[in-house]
Amino acid sequence: MSVAAAHAAAPSASVTSTATTSGDPFRHDWTAAEALALFDQPFSDLIHAAQTVHRRHFDPNAVEIATLLSVKTGGCPEDCKYCPQSAHYDTAVGRERLLPLDEVIAAARAAKANGASRFCMGAAWRSPRDRDLDAIVAMIAAVRAEGLETCVTAGMLTAAQAARLAAAGLDFYNHNVDTSPEFYGAIITTRTYQDRLDTLGHVRAAGIAVCSGGIVGMGESRRDRAGMLVTLANLPRHPESVPVNRLVRAPGTPLATADAIDPFELVRTIAVARLMMPASVVRLSAGREDMDDGIQALCFLAGANSIFHGEKLLTTPNARPDADRVLFERLGLTARREAAR
């Protein structure tokens, strides 16, 4: 498929519109060949088409600011080859207990003071026990009371657990598919791709907004990056948030010595995500700490309109808040406040 054809397939809407809950005008029948054809377009053509579609649905100069806090760190039984929190690998990350509520509230207040509109809480569980959710529910209530959107990532959920989080007022649940179905087994063996899709289904059925994306730079091919986006775009409803992470090569993990991905390939991934999921918020996520300003600017031009703000993402470093403020000023960007629901 040409960029022009993808552009034509993306319906017009106001700059504040988001994915619809009924009468969804967007495609959910993408093929891997179509997605790969978008990746293969000349760079300038691809970026122009993505920016054009982006402007149909969003203010191109507004970027959502989110903060991510690890509320339960380390000791995860999963064997994700990129993750320093996995108990399978000898990393510098130790096992820690769930954070006390007052520390979470203090972090949420600091995040809001630094311009964040969404506060994300991550717990290193394969899947939470029902009693684990008691503390998470209290955190959700406390963070919402501070006037922030709430997001949780805590592993696989049952339908009943998703319903409980929905009843607590959770706005978003993050559960990434990570990569394509074909490459997934080379990265994770302790849960299946279908396990991830089942959790996304439970979250959607409970009425919680979905945050789901993946990681680039794990040794996957361009076809795998296309396949990951096909999985997300062909869900019954597009995720409201699509984080695109560049691998942070954590010492002690099997991917610590992986080859760095070409930064223009990251930009292409964001552009194709924007074309395939026109009204989703696309987050330029992990891996920004050593990304130069020019590449970040290209990512925003390609359709990224969300970042994580703060010096740490769970256990990995992130771009400094003061550096983000300077970059926003140089590019004329402002913080996006409206909810992506």
Q: Active-site residue numbers?
A: 76, 80, 83, 120, 151, 211, 283
Q: Is the dihedral of CA 16, 228, 295, 34 positive or negative?
A: negative
Residues in the chain, total: 341
Report the DSSP beta bridge partners of residue 86: 76
User: Of 240, 315, 243, which Cα lies nearest the Cα of 285?
Assistant: 243
H helices within 58-158, ranges in order? 101-113, 132-145
Q: Which helix (H) or strand (E) holds 325?
A: helix 321-331
Q: Half-sphere exposure (CA, 13 Å, Cβ side) for 250? A: 23
Residue with tokens 């769970």: 314
CA atoms within 13 A on the CB side of 214: 29
**In terms of Cα–Cα distance, which of 210, 162, 148 is closest to 341?**
210
How many other β-carbons are positioned within 10 Å of the β-carbon of residue 239?
A: 29
314 φψ region: left (φ > 0), alpha (ψ -120 to 50), beta (else): left
- Spatial separation of the C-alpha atoms in residues 217 and 239, rounded to whole Å: 22
Which residue is listed with tokens 């009924």?
A: 22
DSSP string, 83-96: -TTBTTS--SPPP-
Residue 282, number of CB atoms within 10 A of its CB: 28
